[in-house]
Every structure is written in structure tokens, then in C-alpha cells.
């Protein structure tokens, strides 16, 4: 069975599943918060490198959005970008985002 990269991060996988059933307003707020966390954790190597054409091309080839949207988050381009970009983040950043989602959805 092919595991998704985030299956190795149980807490993040659990929080990602929780996002599946939130309102669009909640999802927008969480998405903005995640981008803020990435920015404050100097995630330029994750998101800033999208300005580099070769990196962008490689990333798009590796993570093309499925035309049939097999994964629920494929339907939201921002969430798709977050989930697939976090594969390259440090485990501490993934954990920080997991805790952020948990805290935000518990409010």
C-alpha cells in the first residue's frame, strides 16, 4: 500500500482529516494561519522557491493536481499547495502546523 508522506506524521494526518469537514470560512482562516506559520518559520525554501522555474516545474510534475480530485484537498489550490509543500518542511514545522490546526478547530 502506498503511504502518503503525512502518514508518518499521525498528528498532522489526523488534523488534516478534521479539515475535511469544516466550513469554508474556517478552512480559509486555517489556511491563512498556516501560511503565516510557514512565513514566520522562514519557509522560503518551501514556498519562496516557487519563483524558481526549475523548482516549479519539478514540483508540478511530481504533484500534478489530479483531474478527478482523488484527494479531497486537491479541490482547494491553497490547501493542495500546503499539503504537498509540507513534505519538504522539517518535522518541527509539520508538528507546529498540526498543533495550530488542532488549537484553531478547538476554539
SS (H, E, C) 10-64: HHHHHHHHHHCCCCHHHHHHHHHHHHHHHHHCCHHHCCHHHHCHHHHHHHHHHCC
Q: What is the pLDDT of residue 88?
A: 77
pLDDT, one tens digit per residue, over 1-35 is 568 889 999 999 999 999 999 999 999 999 999 98
Mean of the per-residue pLDDT values for the chain?
78
pLDDT, one tens digit per residue, over 47-91 is 444 444 444 455 555 665 555 667 888 788 888 888 888 887 888
Please tell me the distance from the alpha carbon of residue 28 to that of residue 22, in angstroms, as a whole number. Answer: 10
Please tell me the distance from the alpha carbon of residue 3 to that of residue 23, in angstroms, as a whole number. Answer: 27
Q: What is the pLDDT of residue 49?
A: 44
**Residue position matching grid coordinates 493536481:** 65
Q: What is the pLDDT of residue 68?
A: 60
Q: What is the pTM (predicted TM-score) of this model? A: 0.72
Amino acid at each position: 500500500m502506498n503511504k502518503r508522506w503525512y502518514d508518518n506524521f499521525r498528528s498532522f494526518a489526523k488534523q488534516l482529516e478534521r479539515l475535511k469537514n469544516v466550513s469554508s470560512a474556517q478552512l480559509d482562516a486555517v489556511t491563512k494561519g498556516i501560511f503565516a506559520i510557514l512565513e514566520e518559520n522562514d519557509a522560503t525554501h518551501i514556498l519562496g522557491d516557487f519563483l524558481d522555474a526549475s523548482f516549479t516545474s519539478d514540483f508540478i510534475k511530481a504533484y500534478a493536481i489530479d483531474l478527478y480530485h482523488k484527494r479531497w484537498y486537491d479541490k482547494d489550490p491553497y490547501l493542495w499547495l500546503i499539503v504537498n509543500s509540507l513534505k519538504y518542511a522539517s518535522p518541527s514545522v509539520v508538528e507546529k502546523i498540526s498543533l495550530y490546526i488542532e488549537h484553531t478547530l478547538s476554539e
